[in-house]
Amino acid sequence: MNSDWLLLEELFEQGDPAFVTRLREHLDADRLGSFAAKWFNDRRREARRLLFEYLDLPLNAPRHEALVKRLFKLAEKAGDDEVMGRFVVLFDRSVRRVCRRRYHYDWRTRQRWHEDKLRVPPDTTIPRNLGKAGHPRTGERIPIKGSAGDGSAAHRFANRRLFSVHTRNYLRRRAWRYFRQLGKDNPDRYVKAAVSFLKCYTDEDTLDGLALLDNWGLMHVLFHHSPIIVARPHGWFVAEDRRLADLAPAPIYAEAWRKAPELLIELLKKARCRPVRLWALKLIEQDHSGFLSRLPIHELIALLSHEDSEVATAAAEALHSASGLDQLSVADWLKLLKTSKPETLDLLCELLTRHLDPGSLTFEQAVPLACSRPLPVARLGLQFLRSKSPRSDHECALLLSLTEAEADAVRPELVKWARQALSQAPGFQANWVLEYLDSRHEDVRREGWSWFMEEPRARNDVDIWKKLLESPYDDVRIRLVVHLEKQGTKRRGDWLENGPLDGELICFLWSAVLLNVHRGNRCKPGVVGQIVRRLSRRAEEARLLLPILAAGLRSLRGPEWRAALAGVVQLLEQVPHLEAEIRAVFPELNLATESAAESK
């Protein structure tokens, strides 16, 4: 044990972070109590840091009652506001109640009813005699294995605390009494001290309404004069016929808080507990209207990226009346849009439209805005792009990236505008239409097909047609088939039957449409007709096209099957020398019988 303590003192002198962990494992209450004065009176920065780390941990280190109580009394006697604030938080966390329902029955009236009671669960106290016992023969004090700071003990005492429930309630009241008296004697000092320990609370301390009520000191600071809650020696309770949701800021020493709006701003920035941030925000709105908008512009901008959406939204609203917005550069505004919370984007985009000239943005800056996922930012990007027109190949390439815009509601309008701008660009390229038709978004492909049909420079380009025949998208294939059918019917530049299109690519298109079991049912009979017409002109492609025709003949759908059968008969009539190849591909057909039936 002496060697363990010597190691602890060495770690303490060195300011080693491992000191606090090793100290919590130590079980000698006498030595721990004696060490309190040395630790508290050591004014080195390292000793102070270790003390705060120790007080930030739960009150569940066995046999540490003496150390905690002596540190508390020393801080109270010395008037150490910072350490006493840590004790307020520590003792607030030491008591957690649960709601228990009790059922009652009156045998005389035979009535049943129940009532809800708030109480601390039993067995939440660590036994004081834990850790040491006398040897049964010699009486020597020896440690009990498995009860100290090893892993099993840490797990065992995770939900237990030092001191009895009554003592913990007393310590909570006594810690708060220190600050209550401080507020009477020196309000300014009280506010600064309260801000210091309010920043130590976390969201874990206020997981629900009951957990919020269990923070004795916190509730006094924030809601001491509230009629919604009632203070009793063993905790806070909601007043009769009141709701906790109606709780509003009602701090003790409210006049002192009114004189320190800058400290409320500090809570907005650094408090780790949401109820504390909301309390500070409501006090600012209530007692210091317009104070947020008078903050330096860089502080307001920093609040826009705050993790709490309420704080970020309040900062965004304050920007409307803030000065210095005209001094922000384009880069500053774009950085704001990237780092701000989604809830503030509407307000920011409105401000940006008001204070920023669209001409000051380049294509490199406006296009990424339009491609953004947040809807307000995408609309803003489109608004800026409408005032521009591409002048170089690089700018045209940037506009083509709008086909990957992430905002579904804005993308159709974006690609339609980009299509018009690209069509009027001096160096138009037919391949730009392919960027639309190869997009992964169906609405972009739909716009791309309209562009393709209305743009002669792309529609009459054979290379574009050849590339489209390899499209992986069903909607593009079906549109191609329908368009080729119309071409064949009108006999204008009949590329399908006797044109420059590659036969293998056309076969790939027909195969993809006929074998698609989900889409294209209405145009599949037309595909069969296209195959027959091409074979009537190009019989040498029979080995390539007849297997595709066979897929239609073996379909379970009536229209496709009937069209394929009629096509086979038509081929026999128009190209008789293909009979042998047709018999080989369609062995299931009795062609002689069908021919006889046709003659009759």
Mind listing the pLDDT tens digit for each residue in 166-223? 999 999 999 999 999 999 999 999 999 999 999 999 999 999 999 999 999 999 999 9
CA angle 590/595/600 to nearest 5° reads 130
Q: Is the pLDDT of residue 291 over 60?
A: yes
Report the pLDDT averaged over residues 66-83: 95
pLDDT tens profile 84-94:
999 999 999 99
Mean pLDDT of 407-413: 92
What does pLDDT average to over the chain?
A: 81
pLDDT value, residue 545: 66
Q: Give the DSSP H/E element, type plus range, for residue 238.
A: strand 235-238
What does the angle CA 50 – CA 55 – CA 56 come to, to the nearest 5 degrees? 95
- Which tops the pLDDT comparison, 574 or 588? 574
Cβ pair 305, 312 in contact under 8 A: yes
pLDDT band for 510, please (50, 70, 90 cuts).
low
Least confident of 130-139, 172-181, 536-545, 579-588: 130-139
Contact 524, 481 (CB under 8 A): no
> Looking at residue 538, what is its pLDDT?
67
Q: Which tokens is 438 given?
A: 């190869």
Interacting residues of 127 by C-beta distance below 8 A, sequence separation 6+: none
State the Cα–Cα distance between residues 162 and 171, nearest whole angstrom.
11
Mean pLDDT of 399-406: 92
- Which tokens sit at 591? 């062609």
Question: By the 8 A CB rule, do 306 and 329 touch?
Answer: no
Between 106 and 194, the more confident residue is 194
State the pLDDT at residue 362. 87
Instruction: Report how far residue 151's alpha carbon sits from residue 47's, in angstroms, rounded to the nearest whole number.
Output: 26
Its pTM stands at 0.71
The pLDDT of residue 333 is 84
Least confident of 124-128, 313-317, 375-379: 124-128
> Out of 40-44, 104-108, 469-473, which region has the weakest mean confidence (pLDDT)?
469-473
Residue 511 has pLDDT above 60, yes or no: no
Name the pLDDT band for 148 (thresholds 50, 70, 90): very low
Q: 136 or 232, which is more confident? A: 232
For residue 402, pLDDT over 60 is answered with yes
User: Looking at residue 317, what is its pLDDT?
Assistant: 87
Look up residue 481 and give its two tokens: 């088939």
497 or 24, greater pLDDT: 24
How many whole angstroms separate alpha carbon 524 and alpha carbon 254? 80
Of the candidates 381, 394, 462, 464, the residue with the CA atom closest to the CA atom of residue 425: 394
Write down the pLDDT at residue 259.
92
Higher pLDDT among residues 497 and 27, named by residue: 27
- Given a contact cutoff of 8 angstroms between Cβ atoms, the answer to whether 227 and 198 are in contact is no
Name residue 55's amino acid: L
Q: Comparing C-alpha atoms, which of 582, 161, 168 is closest to residue 594?
A: 582
Read off the pLDDT of each residue in 299-304 and give the average, rounded to a whole number: 85
Q: Determine the pLDDT at residue 151.
A: 43
Residue 300: how many other CB atoms lie within 10 Å: 20
Give the percent of the chain with pLDDT over 90.
Answer: 38
3-state secondary structure 421-490: HHHCCCCCCCHHHHHHHCCCCHHHHHHHHHHHHHCHHHHCCHHHHHHHCCCCCHHHHHHHHHHHHHHHHH
- Residue 383 · residue 350 · CB < 8 Å: no
pLDDT at 94: 93
| pLDDT attached to residue 405 | 92
Give the mean pLDDT of 367-390: 90
Half-sphere exposure of 449 (CA within 13 A, CB side): 18
pLDDT above 70 coverage of the chain, percent: 78
pLDDT at residue 441 above 50?
Answer: yes
pLDDT at 375 over 70: yes
Find residue 133's DSSP bridge partners.
142
Question: Does pLDDT of 124 surpass 70?
Answer: yes
Cα 364 from Cα 381, distance rounded (Å): 11
Q: Are 337 and 371 in contact (CB under 8 A)?
A: no
Q: What residues have CB less than 8 Å from 219, skipping those under 6 apart?
A: 212, 213, 229, 231, 236
Q: Is the pLDDT of residue 520 over 50?
A: no
Contacts of 300 (CB under 8 A, 6+ apart): 292, 293, 315, 318, 319, 322
Q: For position 320, what pLDDT does the model report? A: 82
Q: Which residues sit opposite 105 in a β-bridge? A: 112
Q: Which residues pair with 235 in a beta bridge?
A: 232
Confidence of residue 48 (pLDDT cuts 50, 70, 90): very high
- Burial of 505 from C-beta contacts in 10 A (0-12 / 13-18 / 19+): middle
**Of 186-190, 468-472, 554-558, which gets the smallest average pLDDT?**
554-558
Confidence of residue 594 (pLDDT cuts 50, 70, 90): very low
All structural domains of the chain with their residue ranges: 487-600
What is the arithmetic mean of pLDDT over 254-262?
93
